[in-house]
């Protein structure tokens, strides 16, 4: 029985490590504090995890997730956890050749008009255009399970 419990514990640990290894944290900054994130400080968010530089930033996020939603959505895409099906500007299906990297996150658009609107926007405006709650819904972003 003891061996079975050890085997089950090892299997569970391996599953956690495999899931964690799929999240890309290289170069990802804490959207609260601005420092590099730690894989050991995270919070559940939209069926994924968002990462922080310290427990203090994690606490600030948990106290007011709506305040940080746009940047948390961005991090889900930048870390490879969330994928999109539609253009976040028009809601139309995306074209694979209409991609813009928005602060480390690949975002796809339906047409050159939407893509060019993104390219012409200032960095903070880009985040709001594609990662606000409304754009998140319109873009069909979902965390892959």
Q: Which residue has the tokens 């895409």?
A: 77
Which pLDDT score, from 0 to 100, does residue 6 have?
46
For the chain, what are the domain ranges? Answer: 83-143
Where b means 16+ CB within 10 Å and e means fewer, 52-88 reads bbeeebbebbeeeeeebbbbbbbbbbbbebbebebbb
The burial of 6, by beta-carbon neighbours within 10 Å (0-12 exposed, 13-18 middle, 19 or more buried), is given as exposed
The predicted model scores a pTM of 0.83
Which pLDDT score, from 0 to 100, does residue 1 have?
58
Q: 71: Cβ–Cβ under 8 A, 6 or more apart, which residues? A: 31, 127, 131
User: Which residues pair with residue 43 across a beta bridge?
Assistant: 50
pLDDT in tens, 15-68: 333 344 479 999 999 999 999 999 999 999 999 999 999 999 999 999 999 999
Secondary structure (DSSP) of 31-49: TTT-SBPEEEEEEEETTEE
């Amino acid at each position: 029985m003891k061996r079975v419990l050890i085997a089950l514990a090892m299997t569970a640990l391996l599953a956690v490590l495999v899931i964690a290894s799929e999240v890309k944290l290289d170069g990802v900054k804490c959207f609260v504090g601005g420092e590099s994130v730690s894989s050991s400080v995270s919070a559940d968010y939209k069926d994924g995890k968002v990462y922080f530089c310290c427990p203090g930033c994690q606490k600030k996020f948990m106290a007011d997730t709506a305040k940080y939603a746009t940047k948390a959505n961005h991090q889900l895409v930048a870390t490879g956890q969330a994928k999109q099906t539609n253009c976040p500007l028009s809601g139309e299906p995306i074209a694979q050749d209409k991609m813009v990297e928005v602060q480390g996150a690949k975002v796809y658009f339906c047409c050159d008009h939407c893509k060019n609107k993104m390219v012409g926007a200032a960095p903070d405006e880009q985040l709001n255009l594609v990662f606000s709650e409304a754009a998140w819904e319109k873009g069909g972003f979902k965390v892959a399970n």
